[in-house]
């Protein structure tokens, strides 16, 4: 089989990996940013970059975000399918070193030292070295570091094996575009944890109906980003893409499609409950259909609607299929009308170039209008976050004066709220005085430091913020970073009870690396009647576009538009 021409996504992925490896090596940040910007520009193109490059009347280097250097590298990629610079960087920075560097507190230099001096070639090697005490004996490490590495290994392994839902979605969109060009496929749908919207995804499952199954598999195997084929049979093919990520395609009959989709979407617990309900009615449900137990007569299977109707239930949204409350809701006819991205009217957490953001207030406002929002809050960091250039009281009040002026320009188009993401200090209390906070429209409180404090101490700090009369909302309440950092040890039951008592909001941070609160906490907040605010925590105009990831998470928590405060007009929830 000939090497297929790399598509936009594959070329963008090369530049993203280049940027990651260069950043790991501490190279020039402007060079790194150029590759990152180039990758974003390529992904955003609405035509194949190969088509542009082959058109002599067009100048690839003149495209926004590309330039002469990237244009030359794109030419090499299109011609050869690879890039010598990336190959050399991969040799210089082994994959295991990057994996080890994701362990909290380890970092790039120590990871490289472990690889070079102890010959660590895998995370399993690292675990063995810790257990044998070889890490503690290495200069610059010690027993405390060794214990910390063992604690953080699970995070590093998860990072190596699971993708953010957002990254999995990029891969799905690329595969969807590729597979939609296969004429023999009449129907296809994604299943598994991706369809259910889990915050990280371990693999992808595609179901399809095809007239010519061999041709469908050939087309699947020709996906430009395929690294290898794991297995190919009569009805299933598995490939590896993006270094090691597995994608399966199963080919089923038309009258089995709905049953297969329900079965392979899962979750396992949900499916066990489905089968139990079916058995009580003299039926059995599997990936081939719904059948009567007594005579194996087929009852349903072509659509999911048929499958659920056969056991007396309405279709349950994939995001709810975790065997929590969905069956009770379905039996009672109270399945929630889950929130949609289009329901959102405001975004109440974003940063500008006054601290660590990339854009101005006006640029963020214009981008918000383009997305159809009616209001935003500018919430730069407070002074405790010194690495981000956080604002002290004087600088914050000066920024709010600017917002007062800018508001006039946007009157009738967008409401701009004066806000701040104010740190909750390690010793308790707020990073800015009450006389400053009282002058704002929207005050977020968040923890950035002291995240390893004991449970009681962190909980008391957050409870103190909830009780502060000027604080409106607790931002990213558990502090987790998916695949990188576990949530800090906080009593979320106590935080939620306090939020309910004091009439405060809790944030669902839509950044795909956070998605904090998680789905279980969101369900608890819904039960307690605590309004959620879904925010992007954007640090650029592009960051405003991550709202849909927060919506996906909210749906897993069973949230409707009524459960989310910033689906309402701005005057409906501001004090």
pLDDT digits (tens, 9 = 90+) for 85-108: 988 888 888 878 888 877 776 777
pLDDT, position 121: 86
CA pair distance 176, 189, nearest whole angstrom: 9
pLDDT, position 159: 60
User: Residue 4: is its pLDDT beyond 60?
Assistant: no
Can you tell me the mean pLDDT for 555-559?
97
CA pair distance 121, 138, nearest whole angstrom: 17
Question: Which structure tokens are listed for 76?
Answer: 């090499």
Contact 246, 30 (CB under 8 A): no
CA pair distance 257, 260, nearest whole angstrom: 5
Using the CB atoms, write b or e for 139-177: b if 16+ within 10 Å: eebeeebbebbeebbebbbebbebbbbbebbbbbebbee
Domains contained in the chain, CATH given = 8-92 (1.10.150.110), 95-161 (1.10.150.20), 163-251 (3.30.460.10), 256-332 (3.30.210.10), 341-572 (3.20.20.140)
User: 235 falls in which pLDDT band (50, 70, 90)?
Assistant: very high
User: Residue 356: is its pLDDT beyond 50?
Assistant: yes
pLDDT, position 496: 95
Give the tens place of pLDDT for each residue, 129-167: 888 888 888 888 888 888 888 877 876 666 667 889 999
User: Residue 333: is its pLDDT beyond 60?
Assistant: yes
User: Residue 170: is its pLDDT beyond 80?
Assistant: yes
CA pair distance 104, 155, nearest whole angstrom: 8
User: Residue 335: is its pLDDT beyond 90?
Assistant: yes
Question: Which among 34, 65, 33 is positioned nearest to 52, based on CA atoms?
Answer: 65
Give the chain's mean pLDDT. Answer: 92
User: 1 falls in which pLDDT band (50, 70, 90)?
Assistant: very low
Give the tens place of pLDDT for each residue, 201-215: 999 999 999 999 999
pLDDT, position 2: 47
User: 40 falls in which pLDDT band (50, 70, 90)?
Assistant: confident
Quote the Cα angle for 456-460-463, to 5°: 140
Secondary structure, 3-state, 73-101? HHHHHHHHCCCHHHHHHHHHCCHHHHHHH
pLDDT, position 46: 61
Contact 556, 339 (CB under 8 A): no
User: 543 falls in which pLDDT band (50, 70, 90)?
Assistant: very high
Using the CB atoms, write b or e for 184-212: b if 16+ within 10 Å: ebeebbbbbbbbbbbbbbebbbbbbbbee
Question: What is the full DSSP assignment across 28-78?
Answer: -HHHHHHHHHHHHHHHH-SS-HHHHHH-TTS-GGGSTTTHHHHHHHHHHHH
Give the tens place of pLDDT for each residue, 407-429: 999 999 999 999 999 999 999 99
Contact 338, 329 (CB under 8 A): no
pLDDT, position 560: 98
User: 243 falls in which pLDDT band (50, 70, 90)?
Assistant: low
Greater confidence (525 vs 17) lies with 525
Beta strands in 211-261 (DSSP E): 226-232, 236-241, 245-251
Give the tens place of pLDDT for each residue, 495-511: 999 999 999 999 999 99
Contacts of 572 (CB under 8 A, 6+ apart): none
How is the beta sheet containing 346-347 ordered, strand by strand? 346-347, 375-378, 415-423, 442-446, 473-474, 505-509, 532-535
Percent of the residues in the chain that have a pLDDT greater than 70, as a whole number: 97
CA pair distance 199, 549, nearest whole angstrom: 9
3-state helix, strand, coil in the chain (%, to 5): 50, 15, 35
């Amino acid at each position: 089989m000939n090497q297929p021409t790399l598509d936009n996504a594959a070329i963008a992925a090369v530049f993203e990996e280049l940027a990651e490896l260069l950043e790991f090596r501490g190279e020039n940040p402007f060079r790194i940013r150029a590759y990152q910007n180039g990758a974003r520009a390529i992904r955003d193109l609405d035509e194949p970059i190969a088509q542009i490059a082959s058109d002599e009347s067009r100048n690839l280097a003149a495209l926004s975000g590309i330039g002469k250097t990237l244009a030359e590298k794109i030419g090499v990629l299109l011609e050869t399918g690879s890039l010598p610079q990336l190959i050399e960087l991969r040799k210089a920075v082994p994959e295991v070193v990057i994996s080890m560097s994701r362990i909290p507190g380890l970092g790039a230099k120590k990871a490289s030292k472990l690889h070079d001096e102890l010959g660590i070639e895998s995370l399993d090697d690292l675990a063995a070295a810790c257990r044998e005490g070889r890490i503690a004996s290495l200069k610059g490490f010690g027993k405390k570091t060794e214990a910390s590495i063992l604690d953080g290994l699970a995070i590093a392994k998860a990072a190596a094996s699971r993708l953010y839902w957002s990254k999995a979605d990029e891969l799905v969109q690329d595969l969807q575009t590729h597979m939609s060009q296969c004429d023999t496929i009449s129907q296809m749908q994604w299943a598994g944890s991706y369809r259910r919207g889990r915050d990280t995804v371990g693999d992808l499952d595609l179901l399809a109906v095809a007239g010519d199954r061999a041709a469908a598999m050939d087309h699947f195997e020709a996906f430009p980003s395929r690294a290898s084929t794991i297995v190919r049979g009569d009805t299933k093919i598995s490939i590896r893409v993006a270094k090691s990520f597995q994608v399966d395609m199963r080919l089923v009959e038309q009258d089995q499609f709905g049953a297969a989709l329900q079965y392979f979407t899962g979750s396992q617990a949900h499916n066990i409950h489905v089968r139990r309900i079916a058995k009580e009615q003299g039926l059995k449900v599997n990936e081939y259909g719904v059948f009567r137990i007594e005579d194996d007569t087929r009852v349903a299977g072509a659509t999911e609607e048929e499958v659920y109707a056969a056991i007396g239930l309405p279709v349950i949204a994939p995001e709810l299929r975790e065997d929590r409350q969905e069956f009770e809701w379905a039996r009672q006819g109270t399945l929630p009308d889950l929130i949609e991205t289009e329901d959102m009217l405001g975004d109440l957490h974003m940063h500008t170039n006054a601290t660590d953001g990339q854009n101005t207030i006006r640029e963020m406002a214009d981008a918000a209008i383009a997305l159809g929002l009616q209001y935003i809050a500018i919430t730069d960091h407070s002074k405790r976050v010194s690495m981000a250039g956080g604002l002290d009281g004087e600088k914050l009040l000066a920024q709010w004066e600017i917002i007062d002026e800018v508001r006039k320009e946007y009157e009738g188009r967008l409401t701009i709220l004066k806000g701040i993401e104010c740190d909750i200090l390690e010793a308790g209390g707020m990073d800015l005085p009450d006389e400053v906070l009282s002058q704002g429209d929207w005050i977020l409180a968040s923890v950035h430091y002291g995240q390893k404090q004991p449970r009681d101490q962190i909980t008391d700090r957050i409870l103190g913020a909830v009780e502060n009369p000027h604080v409106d909302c607790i931002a990213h309440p558990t502090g987790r970073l998916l695949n990188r950092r576990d949530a800090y040890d906080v009593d979320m039951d106590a935080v939620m009870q306090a939020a309910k008592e004091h009439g405060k909001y809790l944030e669902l941070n839509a950044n795909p690396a956070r998605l904090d609160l998680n789905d279980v906490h969101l369900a608890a907040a819904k039960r307690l009647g605590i309004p959620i605010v879904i925010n992007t925590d954007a640090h650029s105009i592009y960051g405003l576009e991550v709202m849909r990831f927060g919506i996906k998470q909210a749906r897993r928590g069973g949230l409707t538009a009524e459960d989310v405060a910033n689906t309402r007009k701005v005057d409906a929830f501001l004090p």
